[in-house]
Chains A and B, each alone.
Chain A
């Protein structure tokens, strides 16, 4: 159980949609001083009896956000973690657009802080992580909602012309525009529906692999 719950934070695992999954920090000492809710998601250092003990310790507000999404989308989403001020949701490729729309219209998230692409060659997938945040809703000012979705990864990528594609969230969150352009050039994930998929940071004549993929090695390393 403990190895499962730890693994799924990085690797995609088919798992039950119980909202009990948190990543057990090794020590209770990881509690940050700026977190107002002490001991939330800080299960006992003992790893085995986790499931029964974790549930009451989850921060209530964050769990409420996660539950709303699970309630609406059910099987299509899984909770990857619920920590103080942070909620992580895994969404399938086909539902990311709907979940993002729900997060904007019902949960009041209004912009993205960051869009990160993470390459997982072992899973043959590339994960794109959207960090949503809110300026307008004061109850959400501390919160980050992390929506993670995965695209199929190709061994010999032809960026833009292979199966590594995801729907763009540009029509929901305008602020993803440059972030998605960066993910496209750095990892080769093409965002369908994005109006402008040109290179942003890389030179126009870059003909190598997308550089943030794991098989692009730094020279001498």
Chain B
């Protein structure tokens, strides 16, 4: 289990003729903005030390200087593709501290925005997963189909990627006229498109041979390491915050969680794709049940002060459970904001998955963790 740890770059190591140390990253398309220090013996990885932090921006520190509303635009920066979901726990926690009751229509619109964002994120992730495995078609298709949903989000929020749509008290603006019809049409088309990915990617024998039985994470280890989201559900643990601790209106919507037993790279890459289909189902369901009119946010007092105390809220993002812990000391700014992000939580599994693997499998195992470096660093 335990991996030999490497000193961070400066200490002299004992030379070993068999073992070679490789720095993958931080400027490497196969790692994102992070470094993975691997030691290889021939073709096999014998030690792995992830080294994140190259895009650390101090979001948590910045949040201590801004009021509850001004925190919204910068807190979504860690994952701009999933910006609604990373704001979601912050907004839920802020609402509890500020004592706000959210209009019913806003809750449905939030769920729709959150699910659209999940698909947008997953498509981006899938595109990179495709190109990691040298599958150019799988880069082009998700990147193209993602545009459909980005257009929808643009209609909804006015911005293509960084929406800043959720604010404490509801959402920033109501849906445009005729949005429901456009959304339904786009989502139906989108679902038809992603089903075609099975033919070109998920049932592709080359993909299966490269990802099956690589980087296996057993159920026990997935729980012990505290992994979350698609990584956890690919290892056979049925845990989805949307089901287990429903927030907003998820308890009224009809959907399933996807669980696979194998715990290998293939299962981890398949779960987000299956989740996208559930997202389409949730969106259709929410559009049906949504109140057709009504207010979408409650008016905030200028510079509202949080109730004394602390709140921990969590939601299911595109990568897994995302928690936000806010401590308030009855001031305009939160005293402390802590984001517990799924990428950071899943990173701990990387050394366990890579040791014993071939170096050539590293990109597929690494990216199957659904890891987003900027989010992990915050």
Which A residues contact B (CB, under 8 angstroms)?
6-7, 9-10, 23, 25-27, 29-34, 81, 85-86, 88, 110-114, 116, 118-119, 129, 131, 135-136, 141-142, 144, 146, 173-175, 177-179, 182, 195-196, 198-204, 211-212, 216, 218, 221
Contacts and interface: CB of A to CB of B under 8 A. Distances in A.
B226 A112 contact: yes
A141 B65 contact: no
Contacts of B224: 110-111, 174-175
Interface in B1-20: 2, 5, 7-10
Contacts of A23: 307-309
Nearest to B344: A178
B5 A196 contact: yes
A10 B308 contact: yes
Contacts of B78: none
Interface in B59-76: 60-62, 65
A220 B8 CA distance: 32
Interface in B274-326: 307-310, 312, 314, 321, 323, 325
12 contacts: A32-B92, A111-B223, A113-B323, A114-B323, A131-B312, A135-B223, A135-B232, A135-B237, A175-B225, A182-B344, A201-B52, A202-B53
A179 B336 CA distance: 16
A92 B156 CA distance: 49
Contact of A198 (B5, B226, B323, B378): B5
Contact of A10 (B2, B61, B247, B335): B335
B247 A34 contact: yes
B8 A199 contact: yes
B370 interface: no
Interface string B322-354: 010101110000011010100011011000000
B168 to A, nearest CB: 12
Contact of B336 (A116, A141, A173, A198): A116
Contact of A201 (B56, B239, B247): B56
